Amino acid sequence: MSTKKTNGVNIRSGMDKDSLREDIKLHLRHTLAKDEFSTTSWDKYRSVALTIMDRLNDRMLKTQQHFYKTNAKRVYYLSMEYLIGRLLDNMLVNLDVRDLVAEALDDLDLSYEEIRDQEWDAGLGNGGLGRLAACFLDSMATLGIPAIGHGIRYDYGIFYQKIKDGYQIERPDLWLKYGNPWDTVRPKVQYPVEFYGNQTTLQSSNGNTHYTWENTHRVKAVAYDTPIPGYDNGIVNYLRLWKAESSAGIDLKSFNQGQYIDAVRDNQLEQNISRVLYPNDKVFVGQELRLKQEYFLVSASMQDIIRRFKKQSSDFTKFPEKVSIQCNDTHPNLAIPELMRYLLDEEHMDWEKAWDITVDTMAYTNHTLLPEALEKWPVSLVRNLLPRHLNIIYEINRRFLDDVKIKLGDDKSRQSRMSIVGEGEHPVVHMAHLGIVGSHKVNGVAAMHSRLLKESMFRDFDEMYPDKFTNKTNGITPRRWLKQCNPDLSDLISDKIGDEWITALDELKKINKFADDKKFRNKFAEIKLENKKHLAEYIKEHNGLDVDPESMFDIQIKRIHEYKRQLMAALHVITLYNRLKENPDLDMTPRTVIFAGKAAPGYTMAKLHIKLINSIAEVVNNDPEVNQKLKCVFLQNYSVTLAEKLIPAANLSEQISTAGMEASGTGNMKFALNGALTIGTLDGANVEIKEEVGDENIFIFGLEEEDIDQLRREGYNPWDYYNANEELKQALDQIRDGFFSNGDKELFQPIINALLHEGDYFMVLADYEAYVNKQKEVSALFKDKDEWNRKAILNTANIGKFSSDRTINDYNDEIWKAPKASLDK
């Protein structure tokens, strides 16, 4: 590594303790202008971060130089969301200097933990989709793939959730309030992004018709780069996020007329584009500002991609050999007409050639089958904002429907089903259809989800393009989700099998043979108990509640959504409560049932579920007849940082979605990796987790996707289940009669209506009995500590498939085909 030496110390790139310590001191004094009298904890955090940034930047420049020199194919990951969380701990883990830095800080009498906890989460995402993008960045760097992530640098990330009187309230997430030490602005990397205006026809000298887009409104996109280190491999990629700035500067005309404030105010409107992350998970909200955000990401990224390509080539037929673009859901799919527009209007290419290049470059990942999540933009909106793109989309669709006729026969209803532009009085642009037609590969995110895509939602398309649809089962990075968040378990594993598992997670299979080793089992259990004690302290501090670390920690953490069925777990808590009230001496396995998750601010039913859980908790936790054996906790503001505390402390992982509705899930993988047993339906990646860990080591219950389908077709009546199960009836009657709401019968009526009077779309009642019975098995097993721990170890040992390294290798082998670099450290 770099060797600029001052007094025997490697300044600003050395990874030894002395240079780290000296640089922390220098940054504190010279960069932050603080001395021992004025330093705050935040300053200390910043000086450590700056010290690490020096080293990251050094390696990033070397990495990028290498990719440039080798003219490597680049992978561009386009995502509206990156749910990153904190970075300091992650950077140190990936650079393998966490212990060194802790020692350097110790020399200065500083506590690493205190400094680490100064950092605010980068919460630029809602849930699984955004977290997946963050795990992918980690794996792409670790595998040495020349990848760049592109997104938006929102001023406000996902809202901060507070719980007040049991209700969710949303507070703005001012994550940049004190600055962000991890990104570097690139004032010279800025592009104009155009909106509105009109399409104009030009006749060129050779008689061909060309189009241009004129009279547009301009916004500036400015690049902010965050380094993404691979694990211990010398590679540093980066995430490039775009911030919107006004492009015009001050409107001189208004200015001269003395309208100073007006001239300035107008500019600020442009900056709204990157102001705030839309807080909806898996639901389409057709607002113009959101469409602007999507095009803003696409336009800036595409200009950046093309600029880099052109530095090394002017032959656009080579574009797909040098560029792969992966769209995380349909949100960035305007990249398809945008690339077409560039090739047609700027490069004056003919349509067929431009189209082949576009399709060969683009790939699209579908994340959900839920119909309310599908992006369908009103044509009127697209016409107004992006008139040239709308015309390109029409032409793509015209040619596509001709093709459908040739390949699949002249079937009008099929053509109408497949059309990119919907018909009718209020026509829409169907972004998933655009993504399928304009990409060479389309993938789902777990085997079951990908199969359902081919069989149901995209069946016509699969018949048309039999080789286009593929599966890429999601994964999680073992660096953050084991090494970083559960250091004691990581050390125990490394002591036994070495540390290859960190980049080759299948190595964990070597742990299998220790499942029957009593000493190992006890160590494994001790670590789990320690993690639970830490979480118990956190719960005491934040909720003022004592929980017993020896009780089973039964955890459901994820976005609050009816299909994820937090309600079913809540009904189980009520059932346990009623059994204990009926028989206070019941020999029940003590449980602490923990929930966390945000509801979209406009999702009234999900917010009411939060209130119900808190109301149940209030009753249960304050009843001395039951609260030695049962506690219920809702932790506010679920985030990556909170997940890192909860997952290592879990005994039971709740993955209980309505079968066919959870595309994959990744929380399920994090829990199993950290030695929790799963109770779950056969949905999403649960199916594959069961295959890996073995039927005996997971609790599967409930209706399967085909059963749900059949029940819906034959007519499902929730009352049948209500009447047939006394415990279910009792729980629902209590909710209805105000038992959990101080006699208020109105409050939870919408929940009762949804379950009993409006058909229980998510089939909570249909699965209740199977769930409660399976929970009985869970409780029985937990009493047998040895057996429970054995199964927990087997979960950790056999979950290697779900490393995002495996996922990324799958993408690269089958879609991107980029080279992999390795550099000297």
Ligand X SMILES: *Cc1c(COP(=O)(O)O)cnc(C)c1O
Residues forming the site for ligand X (CB under 6 A): 83, 127-128, 131, 558-559, 638-640, 643, 665-667, 670
Are the C-beta atoms of 91 and 5 separated by less than 8 Å? Answer: no
CB of 666 to ligand X, least distance (A): 4
Q: Among residues 126 and 503, whose Cβ is nearest to ligand X?
A: 126
CB of 475 to ligand X, least distance (A): 11
Selection from 135, 506, 195 nearest residue 381 by Cα? 195
At 189 the three-state DSSP class reads strand
DSSP line for 562-587:
GGGTHHHHHHHHHHHHHHHHH-TT--
For residue 17, what are its two tokens?
């303790």
Active site residues: 367, 558-559, 564, 666, 670
For residue 548, what are its two tokens?
């017993």
Are the C-beta atoms of 25 and 65 separated by less than 8 Å? Answer: no
Q: Among residues 32 and 640, whose Cβ is nearest to ligand X?
A: 640
In sign, the C-alpha dihedral spanning 196, 201, 202, 204 is: positive
Q: Among residues 116 and 558, whose Cβ is nearest to ligand X?
A: 558
Residues 6 or more apart whose Cβ sits within 8 Å of residue 20: 14, 51, 97, 100, 101, 104
- Cα three-residue angle 87-88-89, rounded to 5 degrees: 95
> Please, what's the b/e burial string for 687-716 (b: 16 or more CB within 10 A of its CB; e: otherwise)?
bbbbebbeeebbbbbbbbbebbeeeeeeeb
Q: Among residues 88 and 135, whose Cβ is nearest to ligand X?
A: 135
CB of 481 to ligand X, least distance (A): 8
For residue 314, what are its two tokens?
């002017």
CB of 254 to ligand X, least distance (A): 45
The CA distance from 247 to 225, in Å, is 21
85: left (phi over 0), alpha (psi -120 to 50) or beta: left
At 122 the three-state DSSP class reads strand
The CA distance from 12 to 22, in Å, is 9
Residues 6 or more apart whose Cβ sits within 8 Å of residue 79: 129, 130, 133, 149, 150, 151, 328, 329, 331, 332
CB of 557 to ligand X, least distance (A): 7
CB of 292 to ligand X, least distance (A): 26
Q: Among residues 273 and 647, whose Cβ is nearest to ligand X?
A: 647
In sequence order, what are the beta bridge partners of 518? none
The CA distance from 154 to 130, in Å, is 13
> Three-state SS string across 210-224, please?
EEEEECCEEEEEEEE
The CA distance from 686 to 683, in Å, is 6
**What single letter denotes the amino acid at residue 28?**
L
Closest residue to ligand X in the complex (CB): 667
- Cα three-residue angle 181-182-183, rounded to 5 degrees: 100
In sequence order, what are the beta bridge partners of 162? 169
CB of 121 to ligand X, least distance (A): 9
Selection from 171, 152, 23, 32 nearest residue 81 by Cα? 152
Selection from 472, 517, 445, 447 nearest residue 797 by Cα? 517
H-helix segments, 218-362: 252-256, 260-271, 288-312, 319-322, 335-341, 351-361
For residue 415, what are its two tokens?
């053509």
Q: Among residues 235 and 646, whose Cβ is nearest to ligand X?
A: 646
Q: Among residues 98 and 558, whose Cβ is nearest to ligand X?
A: 558
Ramachandran angles phi, psi of 384, nearest 5°:
-70, -45
Q: Among residues 44 and 561, whose Cβ is nearest to ligand X?
A: 561
**What single letter denotes the amino acid at residue 650?**
A
Q: Among residues 125 and 800, whose Cβ is nearest to ligand X?
A: 125
Query: Cα 664 to chain center, whole Å?
Result: 12
CB of 122 to ligand X, least distance (A): 12
CB of 431 to ligand X, least distance (A): 22
Are the C-beta atoms of 115 and 58 separated by less than 8 Å? Answer: no
Q: Among residues 157 and 665, whose Cβ is nearest to ligand X?
A: 665
Are the C-beta atoms of 787 and 518 separated by less than 8 Å? Answer: no
Residues 6 or more apart whose Cβ sits within 8 Å of residue 651: 528, 532, 552, 553, 554, 676, 677, 782, 788, 792
Q: Among residues 375 and 654, whose Cβ is nearest to ligand X?
A: 654
**What single letter denotes the amino acid at residue 158?**
I
Q: Among residues 634 and 638, whose Cβ is nearest to ligand X?
A: 638
CB of 433 to ligand X, least distance (A): 26
CB of 518 to ligand X, least distance (A): 33
Residues 6 or more apart whose Cβ sits within 8 Å of residue 650: 553, 554, 555, 671, 674, 676
Q: Among residues 105 and 445, whose Cβ is nearest to ligand X?
A: 445
Ramachandran angles phi, psi of 20, nearest 5°:
-60, -50
